Amino acid sequence: MIDDIDLDRLGDVWRQQPDPAEMARLRKTAAIVSRRARWGQLFDVVAAVAVAAVVIYLALSNPSRGTLGVSAILILILLWTQQRQRRLRAIEIKKLTGTSEEMLDQSLEQAEAVLKRTRSQLLFSPPAFVFGLALAALADRESADRLWEHISSIGSGQPIAVIALAWLPAFILYSLMKIRSQRRQVERLAALRDAYRAERDANIEDLPQADV
């Protein structure tokens, strides 16, 4: 039976310095991580500049109203993407540097948003797929007949038709699996957040007698 635990002494045991081999391994891991992160950052900048340069080149080489309009839209999308990435990074940093409870609240919020989005995608994508086919058939009866011929000849060397038809069940299956795992994730995060709240709201009566 341990009388009481001496946290100062346990702290000394806990804070033993790692051996040189372990320290070398840590340094190596950190070096790999920071190198990857720097390259990632550089790649993001280079990719954004390259896309912007291509768009500007295409607009200037064929300066019609349509090209300029499309180029302006592409540049706006590019700027919006950059801005969004910056905002997401800021949210992530806030999450990392806040309290654990705040971090769990934000993680839970994000997990619930992903769950909601996946459910909506599952709900709307199959009807949208069928609606798209129906719309194509209405717009051009001839091409709809051709599409039907393609679909009818599945199995006799029409890989595009096979892929097109396999997409729908594959998407539904993938979405169902994602919903299941995301729901579990939400449950785990909610349980953890509740554990933190319970700890915060604990009363003095909950203490073991020896500690009161």
Partner 1 sequence: MATSTVGANGEKPPPFERIVAEHGPLISRIAMSYEADPGLREDLTQQIFLAVWQALPSYRADASLKTFIARIAQNRAISFVAKQVRLPPTAEMPEIIEDDRPSPEQNAIEADERSILLEATRRLPLPQREVIILVLEGFDYSEIADMLEIAPNALALRLSRAKAALKAMLERGG
- Return residues touching partner 1 (CB under 8 A): 1-2, 4-5, 7, 10-11, 13-20, 22-23, 26-27, 29-34, 36-37, 89, 92-93, 95-100, 103-104, 107, 181, 184-185, 188-189, 192, 195-196, 199-200, 202, 204, 206-208, 210-211
Cα separations in angstroms, 119 against 107, 127, 182, 188 = 18, 14, 10, 19
CB of 89 to partner 1, least distance (A): 7
- For partner 1, the closer CB: 20 or 157: 20
Token readout for 57 is: 């080149």
- In degrees and rounded to multiples of 5, residue 140 shows phi and psi of -145, 95
Report the residue number, 160 or 212, with the smaller CB distance to partner 1.
Answer: 212
Q: Which is nearer to partner 1, 139 or 204 (CB)?
A: 204
Shortest separation between residue 149's beta carbon and partner 1, angstroms: 46
Pair of tokens at residue 25: 């391994």
- Are 131 and 195 spatial neighbours (Cβ–Cβ below 8 Å)? no
DSSP-derived 3-state class of residue 23: helix
Residue 75 CB burial class (10 angstroms; 0-12, 13-18, ≥19): middle
CB of residue 46 to partner 1, shortest distance in Å: 19
CB of 25 to partner 1, least distance (A): 9
